A = this chain, B = another copy of it.
Amino acid sequence: MDLEFTPEEAEFRQRARDWLAAHVPPRPLPSLETAEGFTAHRAWERELAADRWSVVSWPEEYGGQGADIVKWLVFEEEYYAAGAPGRVSQNGINLLAPTLFDFGTEEQRARVLPAMATGEVIWAQAWSEPESGSDLASLRSTARRTDGGWLLSGQKTWSSRAAFADRAFGLFRSGPGEPHGTAADRPAKPHHGLTYLMFPLDADGVTVRPVGRLDGKPAFAELFLDDVFVPDEDVIGEPGQGWRIAMSTTGNERGLTLRSPGRFLAAADRLVRQWRARTDTADTALRDRVADAVIGARAYELFTWANASRFTAGGTIGAESSLNKVFWSEYDIALHETALDLLGPDGELLDGSPADGPDWTEGYVFSLAGPIYAGTNEIQRDIIAERLLGLPKGRR
């Protein structure tokens, strides 16, 4: 049992640190949930990609460095410690790319991944629909067979990044048995007959309606699809097998790659600095919450190192990813609540944070989505209780 890095890992860390020190913008970019900020963040992705830092864990042929999971985590630590910008490409990199690596064709990977790595194509996800929140099996949007491809129709919602992104990916019902919201008329196996497709957001028949989140920023969009043509080459895996494919992706979403410890370590460090800088140092009332932020970041880091070690040793992660999801999402909110309380009267301002890092209020708003998306924490707790603790299923 050790927490030591090999000389090669240490060298990799130093290389990352040096590059970031030389390239990270001196002041935060505008919010990536604005048109201006989106453009600035896309340029940053290009800059990262130019020196192969945008997708370090990918094979070199697609723009990466073939880094293993330990190096990837080291990179993330350095990335956030350096105060580098948020990643506008993260939906593509974290959700679509793993699917392509596992289920895509060689041709699809060669076509999609390099442009994703450079930020030339930014991807949005298109899972949810108005009547199906966490109940993904109840999707209604359809893919109808046509010559050489499919016609997509229906409505998608909570599509992150779609306000400004280029392309999207999601599930569409291509088989029999369209489901409805109530128990009585749901098909017995509603997750059958779904197909995983990629489509351009500027195609004929696509209407994108940006939707503002709590602070008004258009962090996602509604997509209205009216006979949108998608060629066969943009189907991932077999038609009708989309559920299985997507589950592997959403497992990923909850698992290791969604929130890297580096982000929380950097935030906790900053919190300690700001707590120490308070004028009224005799008042230790917030001390325990700041300490809990430090403890939680370290716990998450070590939990992640344990998982990484398990992966490296050939293990897998299953329902345990639900532990991860519940932990980081609640931790993230508590951390930001503490930061806002430290700001005092400025804590309610949309631009009230010290300039030494991202805006706490924007981070707070972002954190509030954590317990909701990628399977609500209520569902995660059901999974933990049933699959990890073995409690009986059935009633809720």
Is A22 positioned at the interface, with any CB of B under 8 Å from its CB?
no
Is A6 positioned at the interface, with any CB of B under 8 Å from its CB?
no
Is A106 positioned at the interface, with any CB of B under 8 Å from its CB?
no
B282 touches A285 (CB 8 A): no
Q: Which of B283, B395, B396 contacts A284 (CB 8 A)?
A: B283
Within 8 A of B (CB), among A157-190: none
- Chain B residues near A395: list those with CB within 8 A: 395-396
- Chain B residues near A288: list those with CB within 8 A: 285
Please, how many angstroms separate the alpha-carbon atoms of A287 and B284 in the complex? 9
Residue from A283, A285, A395, A396 having most chain B Cβ neighbours under 10 A: A285
- Chain B residues near A283: list those with CB within 8 A: 284
Q: What are the interface flags for A276-301 relative to B under an 8 Å C-beta threshold, 1 for contact and 0 otherwise?
A: 00000011110110000000000000
- Chain B residues near A396: list those with CB within 8 A: 395-396
Q: What are the interface flags for A251-291 relative to B under an 8 Å C-beta threshold, 1 for contact and 0 otherwise?
A: 00000000000000000000000000000001111011000
Interface size on A, residues (CB 8 A): 8
Please, how many angstroms separate the alpha-carbon atoms of A284 and B280 in the complex? 12
Q: What are the interface flags for A363-396 relative to B under an 8 Å C-beta threshold, 1 for contact and 0 otherwise?
A: 0000000000000000000000000000000011
Cβ distance A365 to chain B, nearest Cβ, rounded Å: 25
Please, how many angstroms separate the alpha-carbon atoms of A123 and B395 in the complex? 40
Please, how many angstroms separate the alpha-carbon atoms of A287 and B287 in the complex? 12
- CB-based nearest B residue for A291: B285
- CB-based nearest B residue for A283: B284
Q: What are the nearest 9 A-B pairs in CB distance?
A: A284-B285, A284-B284, A395-B395, A285-B288, A285-B287, A395-B396, A282-B282, A283-B284, A285-B285
Please, how many angstroms separate the alpha-carbon atoms of A282 and B288 in the complex? 15
Please, how many angstroms separate the alpha-carbon atoms of A288 and B288 in the complex? 11
Cβ distance A40 to chain B, nearest Cβ, rounded Å: 41
Please, how many angstroms separate the alpha-carbon atoms of A396 and B396 in the complex? 5
- CB-based nearest B residue for A394: B395
- Chain B residues near A284: list those with CB within 8 A: 282-285
- Chain B residues near A287: list those with CB within 8 A: 285
Please, how many angstroms separate the alpha-carbon atoms of A287 and B285 in the complex? 7
- CB-based nearest B residue for A396: B395
Please, how many angstroms separate the alpha-carbon atoms of A287 and B395 in the complex? 42
Please, how many angstroms separate the alpha-carbon atoms of A396 and B392 in the complex? 13
Please, how many angstroms separate the alpha-carbon atoms of A105 and B293 in the complex? 63
